[in-house]
Amino acid sequence: MEKFVLGIDIGGTNSKVGLIDESGSIAFREIFPTKSEESFDIYLPRLKEIVDKLLTITGKVPIGIGVGAPNANFLTGMVHEPPNLSWGSVDLKKRFEELFKLPTFVDNDANLAAVSELLWGCASGVKHLLVVTLGTGVGTGIIIDGNVLQGAFGGAGEGGHIEIVPNGRACGCGGAGHLEAYASATGMKLTIKEILGSDVDLALLGTALKSGDKDALKIFGESAKYLGKGLASMATILFPEMVVLTGGVMNAGPIFLEMIRAEFEKMIFRSFRGKIKVEISSLPKEDGAILGAASIVFHNGIK
């Protein structure tokens, strides 16, 4: 019999619930407003209602729940004062398990993205993997010997906050010169302003890159240098088999990827050259978050 899990992605604006099988197929999905001003105690019963409806419609019985949320910690099961939500700190794992009576796992988006690449994406069979999410921010998920690197307290692998430019741009974390301040969509918008002197839309430039537009080549070329440097620093320590890039910034496609590969090869530790694949995620972006959430349940051997 096919096994299903609930994959739940909690974002600052919307939440998404999906019922996903072992092959990564989505049987049903639902999106609803998170209502960031609400407390967790009001959110949870609202979520339960939506889940119950989904299970009634599909007639499926899930074997577990995977939850992706900002500041979620796999080891403690907690979310710590998620930005953009008025929840404070919540023991998400415990509250879900009490209410749904199902084994529940929680983690942050980047770690979940890494697990779903392993299970259903282009990193199938890969044991040492670095996944970098390039959206509003920059997140990293690290797989070592098939397991997510959590560090001593959970939440290890904040590769978006390594310094790539001494005394560089202010970063959202309070630091300066971090990769996120250059390679995120937010950072790239600053690069556009600095180089082109105006606010040209990033998605438009991404499209223009495909036809060899000069401005687009400049912006993406500059961003590829920052990203290549950051990825090479991380990969010099981790020596993964593969680096997978995901998130809205990668909509710019194969030309941007080639630029990143070239910079990465230039910067990587000499004896690692030519050995590490750099790829764009093959998973559907719109469902990436619920696939990621679902993947940790299977990855943790829930049967």
Contact residues for Zn ion (CB under 5 A)? 161, 171, 173, 175, 178
Query: Cβ closer to Zn ion: 60 or 161?
Result: 161
Q: Which is nearer to Zn ion, 161 or 261 (CB)?
A: 161
Min. distance of Cβ 161 from Zn ion in angstroms? 4
CA angle at residue 246 from 240 to 247, to 5 degrees?
Answer: 150
CB of 245 to Zn ion, least distance (A): 19
Q: Report in angstroms how near the CB of residue 171 gets to Zn ion at its nearest.
A: 3
Cβ distance to Zn ion smaller for residue 166 or 274: 166
Q: Which is nearer to Zn ion, 118 or 183 (CB)?
A: 183
Would you say 61 or 173 has its CB closer to Zn ion?
A: 173
Q: How far is the CB of 180 from Zn ion (least distance, A)?
A: 5
Shortest reach from residue 140's CB to Zn ion, in Å:
12
- What whole-number distance in Å separates Cα of residue 297 and Cα of residue 74? 12
